[in-house]
Structure 1
Amino acid sequence: MVGVAAEWRYYFLSPTGASLLSVGSGNAKSDRPFIATVPEGAAYAVPVMWFGRTFVDLPLSGAVLREARPEDLTARAVKRQMFSTTMQAGTGPVTDYTATAGVTLSVSAGKALLTSTGAAGTAVSFGGAKSFAVTPGEIVNLTHAVPATITSTLVWADSAGTVVGQSRDTSIGRVPQGAAYVWPKVEVGAVATATAIGAASLEITAAPSVPPGEGMSPYSITGYSQTSAAGSAEQRSVSLELVEVAQ
Structure 2
Amino acid sequence: MFHRITKGLGALTIGAAMLTAAAAQAADGPYVVSGNEHILVGITLDEAKVRAVLPEGMEPTEGITGGLNIYTSNGGEGVAAYQRSYVWVDLANFDSITGNGGRYILWLSDSAHSAKMARAGYDTEVGASTLTKDGHRVIGTTALGGEQVMKITIELSDAGCGDAVGTQNYPSLPQGAEGLVVTQYSFAGKICGASPVSVDITAPADHPLSVYKPVSVVWAAFAKDLSFSGSPLMPVKMAGN
Instruction: Confirm or deny a common fold (TM above 0.5).
Output: no
Q: Which has the higher helix share?
A: 2
How high is the TM-score relative to the length of structure 1? 0.22
- The structure whose Rg is larger is 1
How high is the TM-score relative to the length of structure 2? 0.22
